[in-house]
Amino acid sequence: MVSMSEQEVFPGRRENRAIRDRKRKRKITIGVAAGVIVALLGGGATVWAVSNQPAPEIAPAKPKPKPTPTPEPTPTPEPVIEPAPPVYDVDTPSSISVVVNKQRSLNPIDWAPDDLVTPEGIPNVWGHPLRAEASAALQQMYQAASDAGVPFTITSGYRDYWLQKDIYDGLVAQGGVEFADQDTARPSHSEHQTGLAVDLFGAEGCQLSACFGETATGIWLRDNAYQFGYILRYHDGEQAIVGYTYEPWHFRYVGVEIATAMHDQDELNLETFLGLPPAPTN
C-alpha cells in the first residue's frame, strides 16, 4: 500500500499556515513602528517642555574674602645677660686685692714680697720700700699732691713679719693685748706686711694722729687717692667692720679698678666691697 503525505492529504493546511505567519510578522512590525513613534513623540514633548522652562536665576557670585596675611613670627628677643661681677683674688699673698685683717692672716704667715722697691723722690722717714706697682703709683700721687700744694712724707711702708711682731709685742707690754689690738695688727695680720700699705703725713704735722684727717694734706689724699689706686683703709666710725680705730694716715694700694669702683659706689671698706665678713676682733 502506498502512503500519502500530509500535504497530499491536507493540501490547504500548508497554505493556511503560511498566511497566518505573514499576518503575525505584519502585526509585530506595526507594533514596533508604533512604539517608536510614541517614543519619539514623547521625547519630543519632553524636549519641548524642557526648552520652554524659564532659565534658572543665577545668584551673583559672592566676593571671595580677602586672604588674611599670615603674620610674621615675632622674633624672640635675645636674653640680656648681665656681665658677671669681677672676681678678685683675696687670698693669695701676692695678689693686689689680697685682704688681710684681724680674721684673715697671710699664708704663709711670714710671707714676703719679692718685688720691693723704694719710692723715688718722696720723703721717707725710715726708708721703707713698697711693692713695685704700689711704689710707682705712690710716686704719681706724690707728684699730683705736690702740684696741689700738699706734698706728703712716708712714715711707714713695708714691714716684715718680725718687725711687726716686735711692734705688737712692745704695745702689749705697754698696755696689754686689748690696748695693742685697738691700733696695731698682729704679725701676719698686718697690711704693711703685704708691701701695699703706707702711712703718710703732711707739712701740717699730725703724724699718726686723727687730726691728720682735718689737714689740707689729709683731705686731699682722702678725696683723690682712688685715682692712683689707693684707698683710705680705716675710716672714722668703721671699727665694727675693719677692726681698727680711725687712721686717716693709713692708705692701702688696691689698684685703680677697685679703688675707683669703691669711690663711685661710696663704699668705704674693702670687706664689704668684696663681700667678706666684718673683722672687728681677732
Instruction: Write down the pLDDT at residue 57.
Output: 60
Please state the rounded mean pLDDT for residues 207-212.
97
Q: Say what percent of the chain tops pLDDT 90.
A: 68
Calculate the dihedral angle through the C-alpha atoms of 88, 280, 233, 191, rounding to the nearest 10 degrees.
-70
User: CATH number for the domain including 174?
Assistant: 3.30.1380.10
| Confidence band for 72, pLDDT divided at 50, 70 and 90 | confident
Instruction: Write down the pLDDT at residue 71.
Output: 73
Read off the C-alpha cell for 269. Answer: 671698706
Is residue 154 within 8 A of residue 124, CB to CB? The reply is yes
Taking each helix axis from N to C end, the angle separating 216-224 and 132-147, rounded to the nearest 10 degrees, works out to: 130
Is residue 279 within 8 A of residue 103, CB to CB? The reply is yes
Say if 262 falls within a structural domain: yes
Say if 84 falls within a structural domain: no
**Higher-scoring residue by pLDDT: 27, 120:** 120
Both 175 and 259 in one domain: the answer is yes
Per-residue pLDDT at 94 exceeds 70: yes
Rounded-to-integer distance, Cα 252 and Cα 238, Å: 16
From 15, 191, 214, 247, active-site residue: 247
Both 120 and 260 in one domain: the answer is yes
| Confidence band for 73, pLDDT divided at 50, 70 and 90 | confident
Nearest to 210 by CA among 181, 232, 192: 232
Instruction: Write down the pLDDT at residue 79.
Output: 79
Catalytic residue flag (residue 267): no
Both 158 and 251 in one domain: the answer is yes
170-171-177 Cα angle (round to 5) = 120
Say if 99 falls within a structural domain: no
Both 133 and 266 in one domain: the answer is yes
| Confidence band for 76, pLDDT divided at 50, 70 and 90 | confident
Is residue 281 within 8 A of residue 243, CB to CB? The reply is yes
Both 129 and 24 in one domain: the answer is no
Both 139 and 221 in one domain: the answer is yes
Both 257 and 122 in one domain: the answer is yes
- For the chain, the straight-line distance linking the first and the last C-alpha, in angstroms and rounded, comes to 172
Instruction: Write down the pLDDT at residue 40.
Output: 41
Return the half-sphere exposure (C-beta side, CA atoms, 13 A cut-off) of residue 245: 10
Both 265 and 136 in one domain: the answer is yes
Both 134 and 227 in one domain: the answer is yes
- Mean pLDDT of all residues in the chain? 84
Say if 219 falls within a structural domain: yes
Say if 59 falls within a structural domain: no
Say if 184 falls within a structural domain: yes
Which 3 state secondary structure label does DSSP give 228? Answer: helix
Which tens digit of pLDDT belongs to each residue from 146-204?
A: 999 999 999 999 999 999 999 999 999 999 999 999 889 999 999 999 999 999 999 99
Query: 188 lies in which domain range?
Result: 116-273
Both 13 and 145 in one domain: the answer is no
The structural domain count of the chain equals: 2
Say if 85 falls within a structural domain: no
Say if 200 falls within a structural domain: yes
Q: What is the pTM of this model?
A: 0.72
Both 34 and 122 in one domain: the answer is no
Is residue 97 within 8 A of residue 274, CB to CB? The reply is yes
Q: Write the DSSP symbol of residue 3.
A: -
Which tens digit of pLDDT belongs to each residue from 252-272?
A: 999 999 999 999 999 999 999
* Helical segments of the chain, H only: 6-9, 11-51, 132-147, 161-175, 177-183, 216-224, 239-242, 256-264, 270-273
**Higher-scoring residue by pLDDT: 27, 218:** 218
| Confidence band for 221, pLDDT divided at 50, 70 and 90 | very high
Is residue 89 within 8 A of residue 104, CB to CB? The reply is no
Nearest to 234 by CA among 199, 274, 261: 199
Both 40 and 172 in one domain: the answer is no
Please state the rounded mean pLDDT for residues 119-135.
98
| Confidence band for 58, pLDDT divided at 50, 70 and 90 | low
Which tens digit of pLDDT belongs to each residue from 14-51?
A: 545 555 556 555 554 444 444 444 444 444 444 334 44
Nearest to 197 by CA among 189, 144, 120: 189
Rounded-to-integer distance, Cα 254 and Cα 141, Å: 14
